[in-house]
Amino acid sequence: MTTLPRVTIWNEFVHERNNEQIGALYPEGIHGAIANHLRSQGFQVQTATLEQPEHGLTDEVLANTDVLLWWGHMAHAKVADEVVEKVYKRVVLDGMGLIPLHSAHFSKIFVKLMGSTCNLKWREIGEKERLWVVSPGHPIVAGIGDYIEVPHAEMYGEHFDIPQPDELVFVSWFQGGEVFRSGCCFYRGRGKIFYFRPGHETYPVFYNQGVLKVIENAAKWAAPAGGPAPNFGHFPKPIEEVTEWDGQIEIHHPQSSKA
d(CA 218, CA 190): 16
Quick one: pLDDT at residue 251?
86
Q: Where are the alpha helices (DSSP H) in the chain?
A: 15-18, 20-25, 29-40, 59-63, 81-92, 108-114, 209-222
Quick one: pLDDT at residue 230?
86
Mean pLDDT of 158-162: 98
List, for residues 194-217, the tens digit of each pLDDT value. 999 999 999 999 999 999 999 999
pTM summary value: 0.94
- Tell me: pLDDT of 2 over 80: no
Nearest by Cα to 121 from 163, 179, 172: 179
Phi, psi values for residue 2, rounded to 5°:
-85, -25
What residues does 166 pair with on adjacent strands? none
Give the end-to-end CA distance of the chain in Å, rounded to a whole number.
25
Calculate Rg over the CA atoms of the chain.
21
> How many contiguous H segments (helices) and E segments (strands) does the chain have?
7, 9
Q: What is the per-residue DSSP string for 153-214?
A: EEEEES---SPPPSEEEEEEEETTS-EEEEEEEEEETTEEEEEE----TTS-GGG-HHHHHH
List, for residues 161-197, the tens digit of each pLDDT value. 999 999 999 999 999 999 999 999 999 999 999 999 9
List, for residues 55-100, the tens digit of each pLDDT value. 999 999 999 999 999 999 999 999 999 999 999 999 999 999 999 9
pLDDT band at 259 (very low <50, low <70, confident <90, very high): very low
Mean of all residue pLDDT scores within the chain: 95
